[in-house]
Amino acid sequence: MNRPQVALPIGRYRARFRAESPVRLPPYPGSAWRGAFGHALKRALCVTHLPVCSDCALWRSCGYAYVFETPPPAQTEKMRKYTAAPHPFVLDLEPRGGTFAAGSESHLGITLIGHGNRHLGPIIHALEQAAANGIGQGRGRLSLIVVEQHSTDWQVIYRPGGVCEAQPAGSPEIPPPFEYVRLILESPLRLKREGGVVGVQDFSFSALFSNLLRRVSLLTYFHTDTPLETDFADLARAAHDVRPLRADLRWFDWGRYSARQQRKMKLGGLLGEIVFDGAALEPFWPYLWLGQYVHAGAVTSMGLGRYRIEPAASLPEQTEPGAPVETIRP
């Protein structure tokens, strides 16, 4: 199989904050940041103030709805029965929360995908307002110091009161596969397959890749002008033949309370690392590489499904399956 060309402009940004009062974030802070960001973005962009976006005549033309609700276009050929397409952003943050003393600094990363980069200005404003209004237990307040953008390194593009000077987003360069590839799961990877959630014993490259291929395809379809064209069936069949050389996985059991749904939600996923033969990954490599930026699995907008790829100089020892469950609760 020939390696496909995937055009998916990616903008990586990092907002740096200073705590103005003690900030207490939950053990996994993605839900707290996403909620505060969403409320601030709606206050900034919503003009009708209707409680339900789908009841609004501006639903498919509103910047807030596009970023945070992401309704499929009226004439879409994909996801016609769904109320929301994949969002054009993911949060990038450390999987642990904790208490930040007044005067300490922290940061929040956000990756914008495709046309999502057009909304960078309102997004920066919303993050600044969300932090100033308070976040986490006790609503600790933070002030924005700078926003940076990553190209070859991190460069300041915005300071409060100034003008945003971002560079155009571009598709990441994709290097050749390494001889041995280590895939490190940095935040819980929540894969669903055949009505269930993929656990430690059920993990397979096929489960990961089928999810990632669908995700990249939908992101290019809804958020770029160049939808992905490739032999999806052929790639899916070939993925069944790829086996990890080594795997060291554990289950991370995380829960949160959803104010919108008024119920507790279980959002556990896989953490750890997997090593593959790089040659076996050649047909799938562009999607795996892009997955580092767009994440994989469910709940990516809260930061889940983040992983990092690096060369493996040697093969680690296999950990016995069924590693202890790590439990994190709000």
Q: How many CA atoms lie within 13 A of 11 on its CB side?
A: 25
| Averaged pLDDT for residues 281-308 | 96
Please tell me the predicted confidence (pLDDT) of residue 313. 80
CB distance 112 to 22 below 8 Å = no
Regarding predicted confidence, which is higher, 328 or 206?
A: 206
CB distance 67 to 89 below 8 Å = yes
Cross-strand pairs, 247: 274
Mean pLDDT of all residues belonging to the chain:
89
CB distance 308 to 293 below 8 Å = no
Q: Summarize pLDDT for 44-54 with one digit per residue, the tens.
A: 999 999 999 99
CB distance 213 to 322 below 8 Å = no
pLDDT band (50, 70, 90) for residue 79: confident
User: Strands, E, within 174-245: which ranges?
Assistant: 180-189, 192-193, 196-197
DSSP three-state, residue 199: coil
| Averaged pLDDT for residues 224-241 | 94
pLDDT band (50, 70, 90) for residue 75: confident
Q: Please name which of 142, 72, 67 lies closest in space to residue 111, comparing C-alpha atoms.
A: 67
Distance of CA 200 to the CA centre of its chain: 21
Give percent of the chain with pLDDT exceeding 70.
90
CB distance 25 to 135 below 8 Å = yes
Tokens 């680690």 correspond to what residue?
316
pLDDT band (50, 70, 90) for residue 307: very high
| Averaged pLDDT for residues 85-91 | 96
CB distance 249 to 270 below 8 Å = yes
Q: Please name which of 108, 102, 153, 156 lies closest in space to residue 130, comparing C-alpha atoms.
A: 108
Distance between CA 199 and CA 268 in Å, rounded? 9
Instruction: Using CB atoms within 10 Å of the CB of residue 321, give its burial: 0 to 12 exposed, 13 to 18 middle, 19+ buried.
Output: exposed
Instruction: Using CB atoms within 10 Å of the CB of residue 83, give its burial: 0 to 12 exposed, 13 to 18 middle, 19+ buried.
Output: exposed
Q: Please name which of 321, 309, 325 lies closest in space to residue 255, comparing C-alpha atoms.
A: 325
CB distance 190 to 304 below 8 Å = yes
Q: Please name which of 61, 319, 128, 154 lies closest in space to residue 69, comparing C-alpha atoms.
A: 61
Q: Of the given ranges (34-43, 195-204, 237-246), which has the lowest mean pLDDT? A: 195-204
Q: How many CA atoms lie within 13 A of 7 on its CB side?
A: 10
Please tell me the predicted confidence (pLDDT) of residue 4. 62
CB distance 189 to 209 below 8 Å = no
Regarding predicted confidence, which is higher, 82 or 147?
A: 147
